[in-house]
Amino acid sequence: QVQLVESGGGLVQAGGSLRLSCAASRSINSINTMSWYRRAPGKQRDLVATITSGGNTNYAGSVKGRFTISRDSAKNTVYLQMNSLKPEDTAVYYCNVVAGPVVYWGQGTQVTVSS
């Protein structure tokens, strides 16, 4: 069973930066996409950023220009660099990997941005 383990969350002031990491417990074959989602208090889980197997990226409009998704295939890891953080970025951030018919989720990491 593959596990995704997120790290890098925490408390930061508005304008600050954080880098989230998501490492798979073992190699995953046939990855289609690796993504980050987030769930703010009282809201649904929303897609933040995606990177495809070909390296193409896509971002939610609210984070475009501030967040960058990247991956290290050799380390089975996906990253989310978050700059110019805003209080509205406060949420639990989840890692997601789609590999064929299988979808993997991490347990989530809390990001809190103070004003």
Q: What is the pLDDT of residue 47?
A: 98
* % residues pLDDT > 90 (the chain): 90
Question: DSSP state, 9?
Answer: -
Tokens of 22: 């998501």
Mean pLDDT for 83-111 is 97
**Is the Cβ–Cβ distance between 12 and 114 less than 8 Å?**
yes
Confidence of residue 29 (pLDDT cuts 50, 70, 90): confident
Ranking 2-6, 72-76, 80-84 by mean pLDDT, the lowest is 72-76
Residue with token string 């508005």: 14
Radius of gyration of the chain (CA): 13
Question: Is pLDDT of 113 > 90?
Answer: yes
Distances (CA, A) of 27 to 3, 23, 31, 33: 10, 10, 10, 14
